[in-house]
Amino acid sequence: MKAYGKNIRISPKKLRVIAEIIRGQDAESALKFLKFAPKKWADILYKILFSAVKNAENNDNQKLTDLSIETLLIQKWIVYKRWNPVSRWRSHRILKRTSNIKLELQVK
């Protein structure tokens, strides 16, 4: 019962804020929390958790109330490098970070 999110255009540091809160919770309460969390990237984690729950229900005949989050890994991925021109023919680097998410569920 796994779900992955790959090459997501949000820095891992921002995703880990919400991931620390829901790590180890049961799936039902984590879904409720992510649905109304004030962060915009909570919606991404909600979709991945929802996908993992549906995979468990469809493939392994599990119920939502019996599932809990076993592992939730947020990993750094590709960093896109852009340049911002400034005065005197110089430029500053802009780093656009991406991340991968791996979520596994277990039966209580």
Q: What is the full per-residue pLDDT of the chain (108 aa) written as tens digits?
A: 899 999 999 999 999 999 999 999 999 999 999 999 998 899 999 999 999 999 999 999 999 999 999 999 999 999 999 999 999 999 999 999 999 999 999 998
Give the Cβ contact number of residue 63 at 10 Å. 12
Give the angle 34-36-38 at the CA atoms, nearest 5°: 95
Strand partners, 8: 99
Rounded Cα gap, residues 44 and 5, in angstroms: 9
Half-sphere exposure of 39 (CA within 13 A, CB side): 16
Reply yes or no on domain 2-107 having CATH 3.40.50.2020: no
pLDDT of residue 108: 87
**What pLDDT is stored for residue 40 in this prediction?**
86
